[in-house]
Chains A and B, each alone.
Chain A
Amino acid sequence: AQSVTQLGSHVSVSEGALVLLRCNYSSSVPPYLFWYVQYPNQGLQLLLKYTSAATLVKGINGFEAEFKKSETSFHLTKPSAHMSDAAEYFCAVSATGGGNKLTFGTGTQLKVEL
Protein backbone atom coordinates (compact mmCIF):
# COMPACT_ATOMS: atom_id res chain seq x y z
CA ALA A 1 0.00 0.00 0.00
CA GLN A 2 1.18 3.48 -0.73
CA SER A 3 1.29 6.42 1.66
CA VAL A 4 2.79 9.88 1.97
CA THR A 5 4.12 11.74 4.98
CA GLN A 6 4.24 15.50 5.10
CA LEU A 7 6.73 16.88 7.60
CA GLY A 8 5.50 20.01 9.33
CA SER A 9 1.82 20.74 9.66
CA HIS A 10 2.56 24.47 9.69
CA VAL A 11 5.26 26.36 7.83
CA SER A 12 5.80 30.10 8.02
CA VAL A 13 7.96 32.09 5.60
CA SER A 14 8.54 35.74 4.85
CA GLU A 15 7.33 37.20 1.58
CA GLY A 16 10.11 36.77 -0.98
CA ALA A 17 11.72 33.87 0.87
CA LEU A 18 12.13 30.31 -0.36
CA VAL A 19 9.19 27.97 0.19
CA LEU A 20 10.04 24.35 0.98
CA LEU A 21 7.28 21.89 1.82
CA ARG A 22 8.38 18.33 2.52
CA CYS A 23 6.79 15.09 1.37
CA ASN A 24 8.08 11.55 1.64
CA TYR A 25 6.33 8.64 0.02
CA SER A 26 6.11 4.94 0.61
CA SER A 27 5.06 2.74 -2.25
CA SER A 28 5.65 -0.83 -3.24
CA VAL A 29 5.38 0.08 -6.91
CA PRO A 30 6.56 3.13 -8.87
CA PRO A 31 4.14 5.81 -7.78
CA TYR A 32 2.46 8.77 -9.31
CA LEU A 33 2.90 11.78 -7.03
CA PHE A 34 0.95 15.00 -6.83
CA TRP A 35 0.85 18.30 -5.02
CA TYR A 36 -2.50 20.00 -4.52
CA VAL A 37 -3.32 23.35 -2.93
CA GLN A 38 -6.48 24.23 -1.07
CA TYR A 39 -7.56 27.80 -0.36
CA PRO A 40 -10.11 28.45 2.41
CA ASN A 41 -13.59 27.18 1.61
CA GLN A 42 -12.52 25.80 -1.73
CA GLY A 43 -11.72 22.45 -3.31
CA LEU A 44 -8.28 21.21 -4.25
CA GLN A 45 -6.31 22.61 -7.15
CA LEU A 46 -3.62 20.56 -8.86
CA LEU A 47 -0.21 22.24 -8.67
CA LEU A 48 1.89 19.58 -10.35
CA LYS A 49 2.32 15.85 -10.86
CA TYR A 50 5.12 13.33 -11.28
CA THR A 51 4.54 10.40 -13.60
CA SER A 52 8.15 9.27 -14.24
CA ALA A 53 8.70 11.39 -17.36
CA ALA A 54 11.12 13.77 -15.60
CA THR A 55 12.37 13.97 -12.04
CA LEU A 56 12.07 17.76 -11.84
CA VAL A 57 8.49 18.78 -12.33
CA LYS A 58 7.34 22.34 -12.89
CA GLY A 59 3.85 23.34 -11.93
CA ILE A 60 1.63 26.36 -11.80
CA ASN A 61 2.26 29.58 -9.89
CA GLY A 62 6.04 29.11 -9.93
CA PHE A 63 6.08 25.90 -7.90
CA GLU A 64 8.24 22.91 -8.71
CA ALA A 65 9.05 19.56 -7.14
CA GLU A 66 11.85 17.07 -7.50
CA PHE A 67 11.35 13.33 -7.35
CA LYS A 68 14.25 11.64 -5.52
CA LYS A 69 13.92 7.90 -5.49
CA SER A 70 16.94 7.39 -3.25
CA GLU A 71 15.35 9.58 -0.59
CA THR A 72 11.73 8.59 -1.38
CA SER A 73 10.96 12.29 -1.40
CA PHE A 74 8.93 14.71 -3.49
CA HIS A 75 9.45 18.10 -1.86
CA LEU A 76 7.66 21.18 -3.17
CA THR A 77 9.59 24.42 -3.62
CA LYS A 78 9.07 27.97 -4.80
CA PRO A 79 11.98 30.41 -4.97
CA SER A 80 10.09 33.46 -3.75
CA ALA A 81 6.93 33.33 -1.64
CA HIS A 82 4.02 35.64 -2.32
CA MET A 83 1.22 36.54 0.04
CA SER A 84 -1.22 34.77 -2.29
CA ASP A 85 0.61 31.46 -1.67
CA ALA A 86 -0.86 31.25 1.83
CA ALA A 87 -2.99 28.10 1.75
CA GLU A 88 -2.92 24.44 2.71
CA TYR A 89 -0.83 22.13 0.59
CA PHE A 90 -1.36 18.41 0.19
CA CYS A 91 0.98 15.78 -1.17
CA ALA A 92 -0.74 12.74 -2.66
CA VAL A 93 0.15 9.42 -4.22
CA SER A 94 -1.62 7.00 -6.51
CA ALA A 95 -0.40 3.57 -7.46
CA THR A 96 0.08 2.52 -11.07
CA GLY A 97 -2.76 0.25 -11.99
CA GLY A 98 -4.75 1.40 -9.00
CA GLY A 99 -7.23 3.56 -10.81
CA ASN A 100 -7.37 7.19 -9.86
CA LYS A 101 -7.54 6.70 -6.09
CA LEU A 102 -5.40 9.26 -4.30
CA THR A 103 -3.90 8.79 -0.85
CA PHE A 104 -3.21 12.16 0.74
CA GLY A 105 -0.79 13.39 3.32
CA THR A 106 -2.03 15.30 6.34
CA GLY A 107 -1.38 18.66 4.75
CA THR A 108 0.90 21.62 5.45
CA GLN A 109 -0.54 25.04 6.21
CA LEU A 110 1.69 27.69 4.65
CA LYS A 111 1.70 31.14 6.19
CA VAL A 112 3.39 34.02 4.38
CA GLU A 113 4.36 37.02 6.45
CA LEU A 114 5.32 40.52 5.40
Chain B
Amino acid sequence: KAGVTQTPRYLIKTRGQQVTLSCSPISGHRSVSWYQQTPGQGLQFLFEYFSETQRNKGNFPGRFSGRQFSNSRSEMNVSTLELGDSALYLCASSLVWGTDGEQYFGPGTRLTVT
Protein backbone atom coordinates (compact mmCIF):
# COMPACT_ATOMS: atom_id res chain seq x y z
CA LYS B 1 0.00 0.00 0.00
CA ALA B 2 1.44 3.37 -0.98
CA GLY B 3 2.26 5.80 1.82
CA VAL B 4 1.39 9.44 2.19
CA THR B 5 2.62 11.46 -0.78
CA GLN B 6 3.33 15.15 -0.82
CA THR B 7 4.00 17.39 -3.77
CA PRO B 8 6.14 19.20 -4.49
CA ARG B 9 9.03 18.01 -2.34
CA TYR B 10 10.94 21.27 -2.62
CA LEU B 11 9.77 24.78 -3.33
CA ILE B 12 11.40 28.19 -3.43
CA LYS B 13 9.20 31.27 -3.28
CA THR B 14 9.64 35.00 -2.81
CA ARG B 15 8.22 37.07 0.02
CA GLY B 16 4.68 38.19 -0.71
CA GLN B 17 3.87 35.30 -3.02
CA GLN B 18 1.45 32.52 -2.20
CA VAL B 19 1.98 28.79 -2.30
CA THR B 20 -0.18 25.66 -2.44
CA LEU B 21 1.04 22.32 -1.13
CA SER B 22 -0.65 19.02 -1.88
CA CYS B 23 -1.07 15.84 0.13
CA SER B 24 -2.50 12.46 -0.85
CA PRO B 25 -3.25 10.25 2.16
CA ILE B 26 -2.86 6.51 2.40
CA SER B 27 -5.61 4.78 0.49
CA GLY B 28 -8.65 4.43 2.76
CA HIS B 29 -7.51 7.07 5.22
CA ARG B 30 -10.00 9.86 5.61
CA SER B 31 -8.33 12.24 8.04
CA VAL B 32 -5.46 14.52 7.05
CA SER B 33 -3.42 16.75 9.34
CA TRP B 34 -0.75 19.31 8.55
CA TYR B 35 2.28 20.27 10.64
CA GLN B 36 5.00 22.85 10.28
CA GLN B 37 8.54 21.95 11.33
CA THR B 38 11.19 24.61 11.91
CA PRO B 39 14.48 24.55 13.85
CA GLY B 40 13.24 27.27 16.18
CA GLN B 41 9.65 26.24 16.86
CA GLY B 42 9.86 22.50 16.31
CA LEU B 43 6.81 20.60 15.13
CA GLN B 44 3.60 22.59 15.30
CA PHE B 45 0.09 21.52 14.40
CA LEU B 46 -1.57 23.55 11.67
CA PHE B 47 -4.96 21.95 11.06
CA GLU B 48 -6.82 18.69 10.61
CA TYR B 49 -9.48 17.73 8.10
CA PHE B 50 -11.96 14.90 8.05
CA SER B 51 -14.82 14.43 5.60
CA GLU B 52 -13.93 17.71 3.92
CA THR B 53 -14.42 19.63 7.19
CA GLN B 54 -11.78 21.29 9.32
CA ARG B 55 -11.94 19.58 12.71
CA ASN B 56 -9.00 21.16 14.52
CA LYS B 57 -6.94 24.26 14.01
CA GLY B 58 -3.61 25.28 15.47
CA ASN B 59 -2.42 28.72 16.43
CA PHE B 60 -1.41 30.09 13.05
CA PRO B 61 -2.46 33.30 11.30
CA GLY B 62 -5.24 33.35 8.75
CA ARG B 63 -2.67 33.36 5.94
CA PHE B 64 -2.51 29.62 6.47
CA SER B 65 -5.53 27.76 5.13
CA GLY B 66 -6.40 24.33 3.92
CA ARG B 67 -9.05 22.19 2.42
CA GLN B 68 -9.89 18.58 1.82
CA PHE B 69 -11.50 17.09 -1.23
CA SER B 70 -14.05 14.29 -1.49
CA ASN B 71 -11.29 11.79 -2.30
CA SER B 72 -9.57 12.78 1.00
CA ARG B 73 -6.69 14.54 -0.75
CA SER B 74 -5.79 17.78 0.94
CA GLU B 75 -4.14 21.05 0.06
CA MET B 76 -2.78 23.79 2.22
CA ASN B 77 -2.26 27.34 1.09
CA VAL B 78 -0.07 30.06 2.50
CA SER B 79 -0.70 33.55 1.22
CA THR B 80 1.56 36.59 1.45
CA LEU B 81 4.61 34.54 2.29
CA GLU B 82 7.03 35.75 4.95
CA LEU B 83 10.63 34.70 5.52
CA GLY B 84 9.53 32.96 8.71
CA ASP B 85 7.30 30.62 6.72
CA SER B 86 10.38 28.77 5.53
CA ALA B 87 9.91 25.31 6.95
CA LEU B 88 9.29 21.65 6.31
CA TYR B 89 5.55 21.13 5.95
CA LEU B 90 4.44 17.65 6.88
CA CYS B 91 1.17 16.00 6.05
CA ALA B 92 -0.12 13.06 8.06
CA SER B 93 -3.04 10.76 7.47
CA SER B 94 -5.22 8.69 9.78
CA LEU B 95 -7.89 6.14 9.13
CA VAL B 96 -10.62 8.15 10.83
CA TRP B 97 -11.00 11.17 13.08
CA GLY B 98 -11.22 11.14 16.82
CA THR B 99 -9.55 7.86 17.70
CA ASP B 100 -6.13 7.46 19.26
CA GLY B 101 -4.21 9.93 17.15
CA GLU B 102 -2.09 7.40 15.28
CA GLN B 103 -0.90 9.09 12.12
CA TYR B 104 1.31 8.29 9.18
CA PHE B 105 3.50 11.03 7.84
CA GLY B 106 4.58 11.94 4.35
CA PRO B 107 8.13 12.99 3.44
CA GLY B 108 7.23 16.66 3.64
CA THR B 109 7.52 19.69 1.39
CA ARG B 110 10.55 21.87 2.05
CA LEU B 111 9.51 25.49 1.49
CA THR B 112 12.14 28.19 1.27
CA VAL B 113 11.03 31.82 1.21
CA THR B 114 13.57 34.34 -0.05
Residues of A bordering B, CB below 8 Å: 32, 34, 36, 41-46, 49, 51, 90, 92, 94, 97-107
Q: Is the CB of A90 within 8 A of B43?
A: yes
Q: Does B64 contact A (CB under 8 A)?
A: no
Q: Give the chain A neighbours of B100 by CB distance below 8 A.
A: 32, 49, 51, 94
Q: How many residues of B contact A (CB 8 A)?
A: 28
Query: What number of residue pairs across chains A and B have CB atoms under 8 A from each other?
Result: 74
Contact A100 B108 (CB under 8 A): no
Query: Which of B11-19, B71-79, B91-99 participates in binding chain A?
Result: B91-99
Contacts of A51 in B (CB 8 A): 100
Evaluate contact between A43 and B107: CB separation under 8 angstroms: yes
- Chain A residue nearest to B3 in the complex (CB): A43
Overall SS of chain B's interface: strand
Q: Which residues of B contact A (CB under 8 A)?
A: 4, 31, 33, 35, 42-45, 48, 50, 55-56, 58, 90, 92, 94, 97-108
Contacts A43-B108, A44-B90: A104 and B43 contacting too (C-beta < 8 A)? yes
Q: How far is the CA of A102 from the CA of B98 in the complex (A)?
A: 12
On whether the beta carbons of A100 and B90 are closer than 8 Å, the reply is: no
Give the docked Cα–Cα distance between A98 and B92 (Å). Answer: 16
Establish whether residues A102 and B42, one from each chain, have CB atoms under 8 Å apart when the complex forms.
no
On whether A99 and B56 interact (CB within 8 A), knowing A46-B102, A94-B101, the answer reads yes
- 8 CB-based A-B contacts, threshold 8 Å: A42-B107, A92-B43, A98-B56, A100-B56, A100-B103, A101-B33, A101-B101, A104-B44
Closest partner residue, chain B, to A36 (CB atom):
B105
Q: Distance in Å from the Cβ of A42 to the closest Cβ of chain B? A: 6
Q: Is the CB of B105 within 8 A of A99?
A: no
Q: Which of chain A's residues have a CB closer than 8 A to the CB of B102?
A: 34, 46, 49, 100
Residues of B within 8 A of A97 (CB): 98
Q: Which residues of A contact B58 (CB under 8 A)?
A: 101
Q: Which residue of A lies closest to B90 (CB)?
A: A43
Chain B residue contacts of A101, Cβ below 8 A: 33, 45, 48, 56, 58, 101
Kindly provide the distance from the CB of A31 to the nearest chain B CB, expressed in whole angstroms. 9
